[in-house]
């Protein structure tokens, strides 16, 4: 048995620009992309191929860095270098801009919805992480500003089931936050990477977190019962080094198959699989497949389809999106 990554389709998504990020809708039927052309594009399948269903323009004045779907799939949030986050609502066949979240001092780097859909997190070059509460009237209110990082915050991600938030930063650290008496506090700082942490991904159960960095490694962190009862205890249980030739910009842990995909500055997309017989406190991951020249420039993002096992989307500095199928070959 051997695994392989095969190309399904290549899309020239953001011509003459970077494609920074892609995100699947919760049903896996739509893919949103964003880029340096300030636009967001929504892709859907028609027959055997993926086509652009709508273009969301005029929402932002500068690069759109990341996009995120709400858990219900009816809203899309976009984080931009123009220091704002836009909330878009699905309407008929298209999307309309519902509201603009302001407050960050400069570039918003990432946005993520909590699994309940009632909370939204944003992070920025201004070193802060903001948590927003959404009410029934589609009103957004900032409930917390946390300043636990000392540098540019690159990424935020919620736990798949709990109201637990993780952030990654240029200060090389990862912070984990929990709500405490109406206030969000950093309850654990994960130190180990020796350069910028670009992205994070929880596994399906939420007991482990994968991080990727400019130090060209991937680390797997595991939650342990806390000793003091106060702080959360996360320990690095595995470091994947020697696989990536340059900065690892993104990581995606598939909740359906457990496969771990990475997006790298050496133009490759790699997929790792866990050795199921290994000690859970010392997991072992091995390279299952790679597309060495997945794109002809840096790969910025990888995203597993949430419903169709093995379908992976990636995007690159050359403005392209690629859709891949990861499967076992006979």
SS3 131: strand
Alpha helices in 53-208 (DSSP H): none
Q: Considering just the CA atoms, what is the radius of gyration of the chain in Å? A: 19
Give 3-state DSSP helix, strand, coil % of the chain, rounded to 5. Answer: 0, 60, 40
Among 246, 275, 280, 307, indicate the residue that binds another protein (CB under 8 A). Answer: 246
Report the C-alpha gap between 174 and 169 in whole angstroms. Answer: 7
Question: Is 196 a binder of another protein (CB under 8 A)?
Answer: yes
Binder to another protein among 37, 203, 214, 250 (CB under 8 A)? 214
Residue whose C-alpha is closest to residue 45's, from 305, 319, 310, 315:
305
> Is 21 among the residues that bind another protein (CB under 8 A)?
no
C-alpha span between 157 and 144 (Å, rounded): 16
| One residue of 24, 146, 318, 326 binding another protein per CB under 8 A | 318
CA dist., res. 266 & res. 249, Å (int)? 10
The reply to whether 195 sits near another protein by the rule CB under 8 A is: yes
Scanning 105-113, 160-168, 200-208, 222-230 for contacts with another protein by CB under 8 A, the matching segment is 105-113
The label of the residue with tokens 């995100």 reads 23
Minimum CB distance to another protein smaller for 83 or for 288? 83
Lookup: tokens for 286: 């091995």
Site for another protein in 50-69 (CB under 8 A): 62-63, 65
Binding segment for another protein (CB under 8 A), chosen from 21-29, 45-53, 85-93, 294-302, is 294-302
Please tell me whether residue 170 binds another protein under the rule CB under 8 A.
yes
Site string for another protein, 29-48 (x = CB under 8 A): -------x------------
* 132 sits near another protein (criterion: CB under 8 A): no
Q: Which is nearer to another protein, 133 or 152 (CB)?
A: 152
Residue 188: CB minimum distance to another protein, A: 24
> Nearest approach, Cβ of 82 to another protein (angstroms)?
9
- Nearest CA-CA partner of 198 in 250, 148, 273, 272: 250
User: Are 85 and 100 contacting, i.e. CB atoms less than 8 angstroms apart?
Assistant: yes
Considering the rule CB under 8 A, would residue 203 count as an interface residue with another protein?
A: no
> Hey, how many other C-beta atoms are within 10 angstroms of the C-beta on 135?
9
Binding site for another protein (CB under 8 A): 18, 36, 62-63, 65, 81, 106-107, 109, 125, 152, 154, 170, 195-196, 214, 246-247, 265-266, 296-298, 317-318
């Amino acid at each position: 048995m051997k695994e392989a990554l095969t190309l399904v389709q290549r899309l020239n998504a953001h011509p003459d620009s970077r494609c920074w990020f892609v995100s699947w809708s919760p049903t896996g039927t739509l893919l949103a992309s964003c880029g340096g052309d300030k636009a967001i594009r929504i892709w859907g399948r028609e027959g055997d191929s993926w086509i652009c269903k709508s273009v969301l323009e005029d929402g932002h004045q500068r690069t759109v860095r990341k996009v995120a779907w709400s858990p219900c799939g009816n809203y899309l949030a976009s984080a931009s270098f123009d220091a704002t986050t836009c909330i878009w609502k699905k309407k008929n066949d298209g999307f309309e801009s519902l509201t603009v979240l302001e407050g960050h001092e400069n570039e918003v780097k990432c946005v993520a919805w909590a699994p309940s859909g009632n909370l939204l997190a944003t992070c920025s070059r201004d070193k802060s992480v903001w948590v927003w509460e959404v009410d029934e009237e589609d009103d957004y209110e900032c409930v917390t500003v946390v300043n636990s990082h000392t540098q540019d915050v690159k990424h935020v991600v919620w736990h798949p089931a709990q109201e637990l938030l993780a952030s990654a930063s240029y200060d090389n650290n990862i912070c984990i936050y929990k709500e405490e008496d109406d206030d969000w506090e950093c309850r654990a700082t994960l130190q180990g990477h020796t350069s910028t942490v670009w992205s994070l991904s929880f596994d399906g159960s939420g007991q482990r977190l994968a991080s990727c960095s400019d130090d060209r490694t991937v680390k797997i962190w595991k939650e342990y019962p806390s000793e003091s009862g106060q702080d959360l205890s996360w320990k690095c249980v595995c470091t994947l080094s020697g696989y990536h030739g340059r900065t690892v910009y993104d990581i995606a842990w598939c909740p359906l198959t457990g496969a771990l995909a990475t997006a790298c500055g050496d133009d490759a997309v790699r997929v790792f699989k866990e050795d199921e017989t290994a000690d859970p406190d010392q997991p072992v991951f091995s390279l299952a497949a790679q597309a060495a020249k997945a794109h002809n420039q840096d790969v910025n993002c990888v995203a597993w389809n949430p419903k169709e096992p093995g379908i992976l989307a990636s995007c690159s500095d050359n403005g392209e999106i690629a859709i891949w199928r990861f499967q076992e070959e006979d």
